[in-house]
Amino acid sequence: MVTFICGLLMMLGLMLMLLAAVGFIQDKKMFTSAPKEVCEAILPKPERFKGQHFLGWVIMMIAFLCFIAALLFGALDGIQNGLSFVSMFLRFLIMMLMVKAFDICFFDWFLLCRSGFFPHYFPEVKPLLGPHLFGFNAKSHLLQILVFIPASLALAGICMLF
């Protein structure tokens, strides 16, 4: 149950990160993971209200705190309950895979390919978006999933030191 709650907290962090970047900060440099043609079409946007970018950075910091809190809570709970190295490894791996599944299903499949979320903030990209984009970053997703294995092993190893 703790693993699931921590994974949900990380998913919340990822959602806040997207909201901060797209809705408030709106800096083209933050969209490097978007399809190349979409990234190139994004035009600079003025602040819609005073403090918009600052608010975006505050939301971004809260998003990072969600990730840190989830990892710390998962680690501390595992240490307190005497979880084994394998259990800790699986906990961290499951948390990261939950976030990746959320990224693929919600961000890529729904927000990028089927909703009006991005065109709401960047109308110039509307003609470029659609279901044809799903899977454009499959290699990147696979690489990230492969990186999750040693990252989870390292986090479990660190927990075993306590």
Calculate the alpha carbon distances from 113 to 17, 35, 100 in Å: 19, 11, 17
Q: Is 33 helix (H, G, I), strand (E, B) or coil?
A: coil
Q: What is the mean pLDDT of residues 142-146?
A: 93
pTM of the shown model: 0.86
pLDDT at position 28 is 80
pLDDT at position 21 is 92
